A and B are shown apart, each in its own frame.
Chain A
Amino acid sequence: MTLFLQFVLTGLVTGCFLILATIGFSFTRRVEGFLNIAHAELLGVSAFVTWGCNKLLGWHILPSAAVGIIVTAFAGLAIGRIVYDPIRRFGPSVMLITSVGVAYVIGGTIDALIGTGIRTLDIPLATSYRFWGLRITDYQLLVVALAIVSSASLALFLNRTSTGLAIRAMSANPELAASRGIDVRKTSRATWLISSGLAGVAGVMLGVIATLSTDIAFHQILQILAVAILAGLGSLYAVIVSGLIVGVAMDVSVFWIPAGYRPLVAFAVVILVLLFRPQGIAGSAAGK
């Protein structure tokens, strides 16, 4: 029973990481209106920039992480401006397919610069805490805390600040928002910085809780997609619930079936949900 609860706890941590990874993706989908497959590659960018500062330049982890997140945020903004803005008029399908090309470019660049092999950050070993026989490490607690802080501050930002309200207006009705005097370029800049910055945070956490290899980003996109579909594309608050569901489902499944099936469990959940509720947990419009 303790073992089972341990799996549930680990699953909750995995779920919190998935929330961090997915919330920027869903934010892009909500505001920019397309699925950015290259979002996961941004996690890789952040993780390896952090690794480079930390390991190659010998910096402390905190400034390294800050540099990683900022570089990723601006990389995302640059990609948005150079690649996605000019093709907006072709519609979401073309943007979705283009983002596969972007993923190729980023993935190939990382491959060429870093090479194969497994990398780890230069940080103290995790300290493990025990509660009622359950173990959790301080880094895992950090993931949980960051997931809570990120989603709460994103919610506050969208509901309380004028830029946040402008972003919501843009995502609901771009023409009306523009005609009411909202600065389209400014809101779009904020959107890209926020969504890529969130990918940056997730990327750093990936480096902290896992080992890094160059194909890591691609594995993340599968789970990000699973969580995003389950939540209903574009909804933000449901990402929290669906991230936890997918995380717990994946880790608890290890209790009964071989661990190799973890990704399969994520998608099995997604397929089941799509068959019975095509709009996801929170979606209202029929899947179209």
Chain B
Amino acid sequence: MIQSLILSTLMFGAMFSVLTVSLNLQYARGGMINFGTVAYFAAGAYAYAIFTQEPPSGLDQYAFGFDMPWWAGFLAAGAAAMLFALITGWPTLRLRGEYLALTTFAFAEVFHSILLNERRIGNGSVGMANVERPDPAAIGLGDTLGYTLAACALMLLTAWLFHRLLASPYGRLVDATRDDEIAAESVGKDTARVRLQIFVISAIPIGFAGALYAMITTLVAPALFSAEVTFFVWIALALGGERTILGAILGTMALVFFQELVRVIPFETVRGAQIAASAEEVITGILFILVLRWQPWDRLSRKAGS
């Protein structure tokens, strides 16, 4: 049981870490508050499902199913998230701070509502079940272990790429854009363009993570992609301490571990399970408030620095 707990923590932790690391790039480095993270995640998952699903038959209401191999769906997921980031980022990025937060939140809600109501995309609220996925047994791995490794690989690749990107001169341009836009523009940098680039680049791994999520759960449905995912990622980011990639990953792992731990407790009654779920929500919220209040990570790093 402990083994399965660790494996599922690693699997979902690594997958959500991809989101946290991308959000870290947008917020801590780009200075953009994206409260619609789940939309890019959902765009990836739906793109993957639509590209790999067989053409509709019987009771299916979705209009498109391209029946393509999984890697084509995976690439499509990244492309879909990128495209969605371009569409939503281009008009909204001139907004700042809380206005940007609210507009991205609004876009995510609109997208969620479309997925829920427009049955031709993915069967509406029912969603698409039995999503195709590569079988890890082909390379001699167990199901869970295979996807855990895949999630970790995606996480490490994302973290490494973002690390390299930000260590480069381009990373300093990003920091300059965040810290002093006027100064950056006065030396001839197109800051609007840099913000859009960061926004779009960081959406791509979120789309890939969405595809991976669709493979793991073999289901895409609007209920899986509510604003709670966005809040979850933000809480994880705050837990880990902003501004470092390692912090983002550790924060996500800790939060996922906590949730998985609650999930393995066996319950006798439905009411018991419900109370446990609510308690989990309350404790998550309290943790969140406390971490933001005392900001322990900042203090630790300051102590280490001095």
| Stretch of B67-75, B93-101, B140-148 that contacts chain A | B93-101
Q: Does B293 contact A (CB under 8 A)?
A: yes
A53 within 8 A of B: no
The verdict on A124 contacting chain B, using a C-beta distance below 8 Å, is no
Stretch at the interface among B44-52, B104-112, B154-162, B250-258: B104-112
* Count of interface residues, chain B, beta-carbon cutoff 8 Å: 44
Q: With A104-B282, A274-B99 in contact, is A94–B292 under 8 Å at CB?
A: yes
Contact with A along B68-104 (1 / 0, CB 8 A): 0000000000000000000000011011111101110
Pairs of residues from A and B, 7 with the lowest C-beta to C-beta distance, nearest first: A104-B285, A108-B281, A101-B288, A112-B278, A108-B282, A105-B285, A111-B278
**In the complex, B264 has a CB within 8 A of chain A:** no
CB-CB < 8 A to B280: which residues of A?
Answer: 108
* A–B complex contacts, Cβ < 8 Å, 12 sampled: A90-B292, A90-B295, A92-B97, A94-B292, A96-B98, A98-B293, A100-B234, A108-B281, A233-B98, A263-B109, A267-B107, A278-B99
**Nearest B-chain residue to A100, judged by Cβ:** B231
A109 to B103, CA, bound (A): 29
Do B292 and A87 touch (CB < 8 A)?
Answer: yes
Interface string of A249-281 (1 = CB under 8 A from B): 000000000101101100110110011001000
Interface set of B (CB-CB < 8 Å, partner A): 33, 91-92, 94-99, 101-103, 105-107, 109-110, 113-114, 116-117, 227, 231, 234-235, 238, 271, 274-275, 277-282, 284-289, 292-293, 295
A166 contacts across to B, CB distance below 8 A: none
Q: A112-B278, A267-B109, A287-B99 are in contact. Are A104 and B231 (CB under 8 A)?
A: yes
**B95 in contact with A98 (CB, 8 Å):** no
Residues in B neighbouring A258, C-beta threshold 8 A: 117
CA gap between A278 and B295 in the complex, in Å: 32
Q: Is the CB of B95 within 8 A of A274?
A: yes
Interface, chain A (partner B; CB < 8 A): 34-35, 83, 86-87, 90, 92-94, 96-98, 100-105, 107-109, 111-112, 115-116, 218, 222, 225-226, 229, 233, 258, 260-261, 263-264, 267-268, 270-271, 274-275, 278, 287-288
Once the chains bind, are A229 and B102 in contact (CB under 8 Å)? yes
* Contact call A271/B114, Cβ cutoff below 8 A: no
Residue in B closest to A98 when the chains form the complex, CB atoms:
B292
Tell me the complex Cα distance, A108–B286, Å. Answer: 11
Closest residue of B by beta carbon distance from A225: B102
Q: How far is the CA of A263 from the CA of B289 in the complex (A)?
A: 29
Instruction: Report B-chain residues with C-beta under 8 Å of the C-beta of A104.
Output: 231, 281-282, 284-285, 288
Q: Within the complex, what minimum Cβ distance (angstroms) separates A113 from chain B?
A: 8
B100's nearest neighbour on chain A, judged by CB, is A287
Contact across chains for B289 and A109 when beta carbons are under 8 A apart: no
- A271 with B106: CB separation less than 8 A: yes
Q: Are B278 and A108 in contact (CB under 8 A)?
A: yes
Other A-B contacts than A101-B235, A222-B109, A287-B96, 14 sampled, CB-CB below 8 A, are A94-B292, A98-B293, A101-B284, A105-B285, A105-B286, A107-B281, A107-B285, A111-B274, A233-B98, A258-B117, A263-B109, A264-B113, A278-B99, A288-B99
Cα–Cα distance between A94 and B238 once the two chains are bound (Å): 10
CA distance A103 to B105 in the complex (A): 16
The residues of A that contact B231 with a CB separation of less than 8 Å are 100, 104
Q: Is the CB of B98 within 8 A of A92?
A: yes
Name the A residues within 8 Å of B106 (CB-CB): 225-226, 229, 267, 270-271
In Å, the complex CA distance between A274 and B235 comes to: 27
Q: How far is the CA of A109 from the CA of B277 in the complex (A)?
A: 10
Q: Are B116 and A260 closer than 8 Å at their CB atoms? A: yes
Of the residues B113, B285, B295, contact of A261 by C-beta under 8 Å: B113
